[in-house]
Amino acid sequence: MRPNTRHKNPLGDISVLYVSVMARAIRAEGEDPTELLGRFGLDEQALRAPEARISIPRFMRMGQAAIALTGNPAFGLTMGKLSRPVDAGLAGLAAQCAPTAGEAIRTLVHYALLTSRNSRGVPWTAHRGREAHFYSIRPYNVFNFFVVDSVLAAWTQFLRVITGRSEVLEGVAIEYPSQGQEELFEQWFGCSVVFGADSNRLRLAPGIADTVSLQAQPAMFEKLARECQQELLRIRAGWTTGDRVKDLLPPLFQGDTPTLAIIAEKLGMAPWTLQRQLKEENTGFQELVDETRKELAVEYIRETRTSLSEIAWLLGFANPSAFHKAWRRWFQASPGEYRKHHETEQAARNINQGAQT
Could you read off the pLDDT of 228-250 as tens digits, one per residue? 999 999 988 889 999 999 999 99
Q: 352 pLDDT band (50/70/90 cuts)? A: low
User: 205 with 62, same domain?
Assistant: yes
- Inter-residue long-range contacts of 89-94, CB under 8 Å, 24+ positions, other chains counted: 89/15, 89/17, 89/50, 89/114, 89/115, 90/114, 90/224, 90/227, 90/228, 90/231, 91/115, 91/228, 92/158, 93/224, 94/221, 94/224, 94/225, 94/227, 94/228
Question: What is the Cβ-side half-sphere exposure of residue 64, based on CA atoms within 13 angstroms?
Answer: 13
pLDDT tens profile 95-136: 999 999 999 999 999 999 999 999 999 999 999 899 999 999
pLDDT tens profile 297-310: 999 999 998 999 99
pTM to 2 decimal places: 0.92
Domain harbouring 274, CATH code: 1.10.10.60
pLDDT value, residue 233: 93
Domain that holds residue 351: 241-356
> Residue 1: is its pLDDT beyond 70?
no
pLDDT value, residue 6: 59
Residue 4 lies in a domain: no
User: 93 with 224, same domain?
Assistant: yes
> How many structural domains is the chain composed of?
2
Last residue of a domain, one of 208, 233, 258: 233
Residue 67 lies in a domain: yes
